[in-house]
Chains A and B, each alone.
Chain A
Amino acid sequence: MIEAYQAVVLVPYAAALVLAALPSYRIGAVGNVIASALAFAAGLWLMLGPQTVGSYAIVDEFNVLFVAINTLVGFTAALFSASYIGHEIETGRLSPGFLRFYHAMFQAMMGSMNLALVANNIGLMWVGLELATLITVVMVGLYRTPQAIEAAWKYFILASVGISLAFFGTILVYLAGQPVLGEGLPSMTWSLLQAAAARMDPALLDLAFIFLLIGYGTKVGLAPLHAWLPDAHAEGPTPISAVLSGLLLNVALYALLRFKMLMAGQPSALDPGPIMIVMGLVSLIFAAFMLYQRRDIKRFFAYSSIEHMGLMVFAFGMGGPLANFAGLLHMAMHSLTKSSIFFAVGHVAQAKGTQRFAEIRGLSVTHPRLAVAFALAVLAIAGLPPFGVFASEFLILTTTFARQPWLALLPAFGLLVGFGALLLRLQDTIFGEPVGPAHRVDASSVPMVMHLMLVLAAGLYLPPVLVGWFRRAAELLG
């Protein structure tokens, strides 16, 4: 009898092996969907099941929701890619062999991310993240066009440097924990470290946190460590872009936050707040400005992911129950919304046969339904009601202003600048006289709509159990 948290990790890995063995890519796609569905079921099971703290795995208010979102988005992404990826075969961008590989890797990636999420061991967490990253590197290079390889190469180098820095940070944490908790496993077990944080050496913790911030921050996509993110999003297959923006960034931020909790446990250590505020604001404002010059629709939304990650990091840097709550909410909302946007972008790219803004015009004339969905998704990410992002941004801005009025001007400025770009692009794409071809779209719109529904629901009503988790996690974050 296996536990939920084991299932969450093992199901994808097992599926990866099976899919690697399956010959036909069609069956592979179906298998991918089934496996993701199973993982999602496991995720729900985990969500409803008891919370456990083992020596290797931990299930608490903080990560249970992320596992749920992870498996959910994984499921919808698999659904989307099943209906989408066939198109890539037709256009000859991929060969069946590569698809087989793709499906196997997809599951492996999901498994690794879940591993990183449920791991109670900072080493395991690191392993999971690293595996997930390396796999996405391969996925990004999948099309083997010069651009794709360049993107993958850039991603690979930056990411692996980040990985090694993160590992060094992990070692330092161990070193900090070892005198307190003794040698071996305990001083790598997160829950014990968390409990003993107060007795650790602050200077060592500072050092560790800096290395971890740079290391995991690279995967979060914080400026100036963001460089890999836009190209990786733009050149990889669209489902992978959705997973990257929707999940991998979250998992990296999740890891970062775990260590922030550690820091919060040791009062005489460096306060990570200001550093995170600065980095968050830099990312937010920089990305907002970068939006204006983008001509590739996927790269555009990649930068918007950087912007939102910056906002989250800012919120967590502000700290306090309200800001942390808002940050967590924003994390959840962003991953749902952004992945739905990438699904929509996939549709658009199929409909117009291009990813370039200049060749996408008047969607509301040629593809009304798609245009509406796309518009709703973009407006949602822009933080307009009735969607959940509005709630989180409402909380972040109000509480920031209430505490430090002048500081609040900066995120507001960044958000407004970004909003301008989003609105400009939205109007250009869906309005006006249509140009270029208007193909039939055969990708399924279920995932997109499903996500939008969820975000809408969250904007109208947050279930108390969810709120409870967020509350608890927010308290832990200090």
Chain B
Amino acid sequence: MKLAYEISHLLAGVMLVVSFAQLYQQRIAAVLNAFAAQSITLALAVAWAAWSEDRPDLFITATIAFLLKGVLIPVALHRTVTRLGVHREVEKVVGVGMALLVGLALCGLSQALVVKIAPVSAGLARDELALAMAIVLLGFLMMIVRRNAVTQVVGFMSMENGLILAATGAQGMPLVVEVSVAFSVLIALFVFAVFVFRIRERFDTIDIEALDRMRGDRR
């Protein structure tokens, strides 16, 4: 049991590290790879939880995470990016160093919040909750330090990763939730695809600044 905990904890830690890597990366392609790595780690973590806690249903989640976020989406996005020829673009708003510092601050914040919880009360280990929260916040941070639609998608999905980590970590959270999560991610992808294509049809770029040109009451 101790070991099980150690491993899941380790995997969670790896995910956090990978999200920092995402923040650190310059090129979209690299960001996608990092994201893929994170998703695969997530898949492992979920799978491990499924095995160690003997909850076979979690294997579904694990596979979904692996196939969808670990393989399909990164590949699809790689395609789009290369087709649009933006795969080596750098569109940062703040410098890497700054982003990393903020990221660290967020980790600290989530720690500070979690230590206030009484140890026994939480259904999962507090530090794992802290890791999950940090991952979610880092994903959010990534959405706001990148200008580019694809990286925003990625940031959003790494938020989802954090969520799923937390969800699986929460012992005995009913199946309905994972299904709904996977379902939502599906819809999310679908809609994303629709929009990314439409956007390309209309503006030959997926930089969202371009979208912001026509906005209410400016006409």
Tell me, yes or no, whether A and B come into direct contact in the complex with CB atoms closer than 8 A: yes
A399 within 8 A of B: no
In the complex, are the beta carbons of B211 and A150 less than 8 A apart? yes
Contact partner of A203 (CB less than 8 A), chosen from B118, B140, B166, is B118
Residues in A136-183 with C-beta less than 8 Å from chain B: 137-138, 141, 144, 146-147, 149-150, 152-154, 156-157, 160-161, 163-165, 167-168, 171, 174-176, 178-179, 182-183
Residues 195-215 of chain B: 1 if any A CB is under 8 Å from the residue's CB, otherwise 0?
100110010000010011011
CB neighbours of A182 from chain B (8 A): 172
Contact partner of B187 (CB less than 8 A), chosen from A123, A134, A141, is A134
Give Cα A101–Cα B159 distance, bound, in whole angstroms. 31
Where chain B touches its partner, the secondary structure class is helix
A185 within 8 A of B: yes
Q: Find the residue from B124, B167, B184 having the highest chain A CB count within 10 A.
A: B184
CB distance from B67 to the nearest CB of A (A): 20
B152 within 8 A of A: yes
CB distance from A293 to the nearest CB of B (A): 7
In the complex, are the beta carbons of B160 and A171 less than 8 A apart? no
CB distance from A155 to the nearest CB of B (A): 11
Chain A residues with a Cβ closer than 8 Å to the other chain, count: 51
A374 within 8 A of B: no
In the complex, are the beta carbons of A179 and B202 less than 8 A apart? no
B170 within 8 A of A: yes
CB distance from B80 to the nearest CB of A (A): 16
Contact partner of A168 (CB less than 8 A), chosen from B118, B166, B171, B174, is B166
Contact partner of A156 (CB less than 8 A), chosen from B177, B191, B214, is B191
CB neighbours of B172 from chain A (8 A): 178, 182-184
A359 within 8 A of B: no
In the complex, are the beta carbons of A295 and B217 less than 8 A apart? yes
Give Cα A188–Cα B170 distance, bound, in whole angstroms. 12
In the complex, are the beta carbons of B216 and A201 less than 8 A apart? no
Contact partner of A144 (CB less than 8 A), chosen from B133, B152, B198, is B198
A207 within 8 A of B: yes
Give Cα A153–Cα B124 distance, bound, in whole angstroms. 36
CB neighbours of B188 from chain A (8 A): 134, 160
Give Cα A147–Cα B217 distance, bound, in whole angstroms. 11
In the complex, are the beta carbons of A184 and B174 less than 8 A apart? yes
CB neighbours of B181 from chain A (8 A): 167
CB neighbours of B208 from chain A (8 A): 153
Chain A residue nearest to B115 (CB atoms) is A203
| Stretch of A22-30, A124-132, A451-459 on the interface side | A124-132
Give Cα A15–Cα B122 distance, bound, in whole angstroms. 42
In the complex, are the beta carbons of B191 and A137 less than 8 A apart? yes
In the complex, are the beta carbons of A123 and B177 less than 8 A apart? yes
In the complex, are the beta carbons of B159 and A163 less than 8 A apart? no
Which residues on A are within 8 Å of B, measured CB to CB? 121, 123-124, 126-127, 130, 134, 137-138, 141, 144, 146-147, 149-150, 152-154, 156-157, 160-161, 163-165, 167-168, 171, 174-176, 178-179, 182-185, 188, 200-201, 203-204, 207, 230-231, 234, 293-296, 299
- A-B pairs with beta carbons under 8 Å apart, 7 shown: A147-B215, A149-B198, A153-B195, A157-B152, A179-B120, A201-B117, A296-B216
